[in-house]
Amino acid sequence: MFYIKKLYVTSQYLIVILLLFFSSQSYAQIPNHQQMPKLSSKQMAEMYHRRGEYDQAIKIYRSLLESGERDSTLFRGLIRTWRASGKSLLAKEFIKEFIGKNPDCSGCWYGSGYLNYLEKEDVEAEKNFLKAIELNPENAMAWNNLGAVRTRTKSYTMAVKNIKEAIWLDQDNSMFYNNLWIVYEDMGENGLFFAEFEKYVLRGPRKMAVGYGKAIARKLRQKGFAVYSKGNLDEALKQFQEMVEIYRKIDYKPGLVPGLFSLGLLLEEKGEPSLALEKYKQLLKINPNHIQAREKIKEE
């Protein structure tokens, strides 16, 4: 026999619990000192950026690039960090000097274009992204940002084509799927995104089905939080239920676990403990060692 442990928490705190629970599933948590040696140099730079330790991040990014690495994501990280530290001019000087020494470096031209993009210099950004692609047609980051520029200039057909090229080249990058959603949203054609998702669920590739699905789930989760913060519990439940169904379609357990737990909490608040119980039990079938769910359900 099962019963649900009573949850004495006011609705004003529930959204905080949900946010913390979802964020706890993220790979991007800042590690403790014992974990730090396991991080790559790039991950270390990203960690320092998140902490606001910009000088340390810049030092690592520069070291990697000056040692011969040419990954576009390194240029992106360096530029973002310099801008966050209020030193965009140093980023411009570094990129200009780097291109002078490495004119055939696709990543360098991507970095120049990315800086232009952030400064809203769309003509120059497009020119530099195209140069990066000319030097390396498989530069997914350049294709993605070319699409972002063309979205901003409302060249939607080309933007969709560019971002889909980026997705095809790097099917694991969630940023690309999110950007494609933005294009369709600007066009007022989000239905196309859902249609493409269903196509990939049925026919594959699986990675693309997962990428599309995670992007949709993220939007549903954001909307769920938004309507809950306004006191609309029923609409929040609807959004989270749809999110869970998306995760089921792509069999994405890292999303299903927090999704089911969140539904349980929301159903408890709504006064439907038996339905909440179902969600916790479903969760425990996926992860029998889930501490919070086990605390919510106790066997006599």
pLDDT at position 18 is: 56
pLDDT at position 10 is: 45
**Residue in 130, 183, 180, 115 with CA at minimum distance from that of residue 154:** 183
**Residue in 66, 56, 61, 99 with CA at minimum distance from that of residue 77:** 61
CA 161 to chain centre: 21
Grouping H, G, I as helix, E, B as strand and the rest as coil, residue 68 is coil
pLDDT tens string 92-138: 999 999 999 999 999 999 999 999 999 999 999 999 999 999 999 99
pLDDT at position 291 is: 87
Distance CA 77, CA 29 (A): 17
Count of residues for the chain?
300
- Is residue 233's pLDDT more than 80? yes
Distance CA 192, CA 228 (A): 27
Q: For 269-274, what is the mean pLDDT?
A: 92
Q: For 197-223, what is the mean pLDDT?
A: 97
- Please spell the DSSP secondary structure of 133-170, one letter per residue: HHH-TT-HHHHHHHHHHHHHTT-HHHHHHHHHHHHHH-
Contact 214, 236 (CB under 8 A): no
pLDDT band per the 50, 70, 90 thresholds, residue 1 = very low
Distance CA 243, CA 221 (A): 7
Considering the chain, what is the average pLDDT of its residues? 89
User: pTM (2 decimals)?
Assistant: 0.86
pLDDT at position 22 is: 59
- Please spell the DSSP secondary structure of 96-118, one letter per residue: HHHHHH-TT-HHHHHHHHHHHHH
Q: Which domains does the chain have, with CATH numbers?
A: 1-24+189-300 (1.25.40.10), 86-183 (1.25.40.10)
Task: Kindly state the tokens that stand for 282.
Answer: 């479903």
Grouping H, G, I as helix, E, B as strand and the rest as coil, residue 79 is helix
